[in-house]
Homo-oligomer: A and B are copies of this chain.
Amino acid sequence: MVRWQPDAHGRLQQAAMELYVERGFDQVTVADIAERAGLTERTFFRYFADKREVLFAGSSALQDRLVASVAAAPADLAPLDVLALAFDDVATGFFGEGLQHARARQSVVDSHSGLQERELIKMAAIASTLADALRRRRVQEPAASLAAESAVAAFRIAFARWVSGDAGERLAPVMSESFAALRTIAGGR
């Protein structure tokens, strides 16, 4: 007989997601989430800084993977090519059942401005660390920050199109198109 069920973090995440989808973010209290997970409100706040953060657990893994990919890219690529490569790396494999979860999650986020704010700051954090990674490759400011911010914008826009598009479609080609459009705008060939 174990005292605590395992994976409290995961149970809280799943309970929160379910309830947000069922009732909407505002109609769910932290006590509701904790109860469904078999824990208390206080414990929720030991795992997540606030009621929103529970929806953004994957963000730091994404960030780490992108930074690693930038660090490993061939040395002679232009900044935007480095970033396109990194995002293509994470996008590969995004389709199918990933779409189901992404759609549910996105519809929750889209319905609440507080969640959109949180999403934006996560993306900004990713852009910031990508700019760091570019600077480590001797890209100067403000080019590094601009490339990082623009690339993240290309990713966000592609992701939004993918989520709201046809099932069966893959993220990677949508994103390639988005980066291509960015190059056209910025004036490169």
Which of B80, B120, B150, B187 is the one whose CB lies under 8 Å from A153? B150
Closest to A177 in B: B142
> Which residues of chain B have C-beta atoms less than 8 A from A78's C-beta?
185-189
A108–B118 CA distance with the chains assembled, in angstroms:
19
Known contacts A146-B150, A146-B185, A183-B186, then 6 further A-B pairs from the complex at CB < 8 Å, ordered by chain A residue: A142-B161, A149-B149, A149-B150, A150-B182, A186-B187, A187-B188
Q: What is the total number of copies of this protein in its complex? A: 2
Chain B proximity of A59: nearest CB distance (Å): 14
**Residue of A124, A146, A185, A189 with highest tally of chain B CB at under 10 A:** A185
> Which residues of chain B have C-beta atoms less than 8 A from A149's C-beta?
149-150, 153, 156-157
With A150-B149, A186-B186, A187-B188 as contacts: A181 and B143 at CB distance below 8 Å: yes
Does A27 count as interface, using CB distance less than 8 angstroms?
A: no
Which of B120, B153, B156, B186 is the one whose CB lies under 8 Å from A185? B186
